[in-house]
Amino acid sequence: MRALSFAALIALVLDQASKYLVVHSMGLAFRHQIDVLPPLLTFRYGENRGINFGLFEGETEAARWALIGFSLVVVAAVLFWVRRSHPTNLPILIGAGLLIGGAMGNVIDRLAYGYVLDFLNMSCCGIQNPFVFNVADIFIFLGAGALILFESRKPDGKKGS
């Protein structure tokens, strides 16, 4: 479980550090947009009161606390599942840690600000992406992907049936 704890801590620290650096130190909250490698990478200020890409967005305190509660239930469920079913599977432990660290990064934002700070915007090939996301979202997706990929494999590396 050390791998899970370490992955979660790394994901959480990188998420919170990136938000502090970009949103506060670089002044994105006031500038609203910083072109880094346009159009591929732009920092664009966003306040997400929903889940990824603003789905289930709600302006109320009840919605905020419901999303915090939902995130904590997911974290607890992943921890329970990993401890019960995969306590020594390193890829699963790392994936679970990334997912948990990312989820907790967004929970900290909801507790501190009432919303999740988003700032990454990527567009390419003439397609303008209207959505913003953050480093926690990257870790959540990587972690979930690892859980899906490695859950379907037997310990010897062969795909399960």
Are the C-beta atoms of 42 and 34 separated by less than 8 Å? yes
Three-state DSSP at 42 gives strand
CA angle 69, 71, 76 (to 5 degrees): 95
Helix pair angle (90-113, 2-19), 10° resolution: 40
Is 35 an active-site residue? no
Beta-sheet strand order (sheet of 116-121): 33-37, 41-48, 116-121
Residue 34, H or E segment: strand 33-37
Tell me which of 15, 109, 137, 156 is the catalytic residue. 137
Tell me which of 15, 109, 118, 156 is the catalytic residue. 118
Catalytic residue ranges: 118, 137
